Amino acid sequence: MNWADGESYVAIFVAFFVIRYVRNFLETPTRLPDWDMYFKRIWLTGFILMGLGEIFPRPWLIWFQLIVFLSIAYTVWQLYDLRPARTLLFAIAPYAIISCLESLVKSLSHSFYKKTDDYFESGATFSIIWLITFAVIAANQKKSLEKIRLEREKEAEQRRIIENKKNELEYLVAERTAEITRQKEELEEALKELKTTQTQLVQSEKMASLGELTAGIAHEIQNPLNFVNNFSEVSIELIDELEEEHAKPDRDVELETEILADLKQNLQKITHHGGRAASIVKGMLQHSRTSTGQREPTDINALSDEYLRLAYHGLRAKDKSFNATFTSDFDTSLGLVNMIPQDMGRVMLNLFTNAFYAVQQRQREGGDPNYKPTVTVSTRCVNGEVVITVSDNGTGMPEAVKQKIFQPFFTTKPTGEGTGLGLSMAYDIVTKGHNGTLEVDSKEGEGTTFKITIPA
């Protein structure tokens, strides 16, 4: 065989481009870097075999074609999991086999090759068509895989972004949770302090109420005690006079009878005022007793009158110069009303105290020389309900103040004279404790009326 003919050069150049195409198609520099440095120089064996062919006439072209084909096959075997690589091998195999077979027949029997030349040309044409067809299929597979790879990379990037966002959100959630926990602890501490303060204020309000009640009781009980003391002293004088008269030899029977009648009358008055003092003490004990929440039949008229007097005398204990008129208009047909007397007593004491305070403030303003401070309490039975009305002609309230008076801690009194819990507690006692209503009607500069309505 003469290697100087053009066939050998064509084979070498074809091998060069085929190897280059396979390397680019399969991306061997990236996928098989160690093998690629040898694979890309396989076509150089053609020149070596060409030189040997000049010295030793042998069918070296066959060996060159086999070396190229086996190198490609080895490359594909290393990338067997890559589907386009298998398709490419399937595409090249027919052409490589026919080319090698043609070279072998041509070298061994040139005359036989001449006879079968048409068959080899037909096979070569078929193998080229086969090669082109499956090369296109392999290219499409590669594009599909590349598309899938890009989609997976995009999905991976999206997952990475989502993971980063997730980590960022988890960090923000943890940070926010820590902040909320801290705020919760601060709120719990503030709530604890608020409850403590509220308890202290409620206790302060109770003590203030108790102080007003005690002052009223002290002045109210002083009157019957004065009567008891005075009539006791007069009775002692009458007994001394009776003893003197009884010791005389000429006794005056009529005088003794008159003295005995006076003694009896004095003792009756002592008994009356002693009972009055006892009822005041009993009322004081009932007020100071912790409420059990149990309702009991109560004389609402007597309860109102009792606390009206106690509230008036309690304010007079603080201001000796204060005087006011207090009147009552009670419905005698009410009878006993089922209620919690201790709680309702606190409500009335608060309303009466506020009423006397309002008329005292208007009196101090001195705008009207003919002004007479007056507080009135009345009871009625209307449609099966007990209506208790407490009215005064004091300073009254503007609309803005009237909207807030039942709010806890709201007060119009100067600092130290009220906690603002009295009306709030009274409102809860009436509405929640007795299923009733507590309404207010007031005109600034004219007076205020509170109306309690509870089921009879």
Write out pLDDT tens, residues 340-383: 888 888 888 889 988 988 888 888 887 778 889 999 999 998 88
Region 237-263: what's the mean pLDDT?
A: 78
* Contact in structure between 381 and 333 (CB atoms under 8 Å): yes
Most confident of the following: 120-129, 165-174, 287-296: 165-174
Q: Map tokens 């009356």 to a residue.
A: 272
Pairing of strands 336-339, 385-392: unpaired
CATH code of domain 202-455: 3.30.565.10
What is the helix (H) or strand (E) element at residue 147, kind and residue range? helix 117-247
Size (the chain), residues: 456
Share of the chain above pLDDT 90, in %: 10
Write out pLDDT tens, residues 84-116: 777 777 777 777 777 777 767 766 676 776 777
What is the pLDDT confidence band of residue 2, given thresholds at 50, 70 and 90?
very low
Q: Any idea where the domains of the chain sit in the sequence?
A: 6-162, 202-455
Q: Map tokens 């003092």 to a residue.
A: 277
The CA–CA distances, whole Å, from 405 to 210, 213, 415, 455 equal 21, 22, 16, 24
| CA–CA gap between residue 384 and residue 243 (Å, rounded) | 61
User: Residue 327: is its pLDDT beyond 60?
Assistant: yes
The CA–CA distances, whole Å, from 395 to 48, 358, 422, 444 equal 126, 6, 19, 6
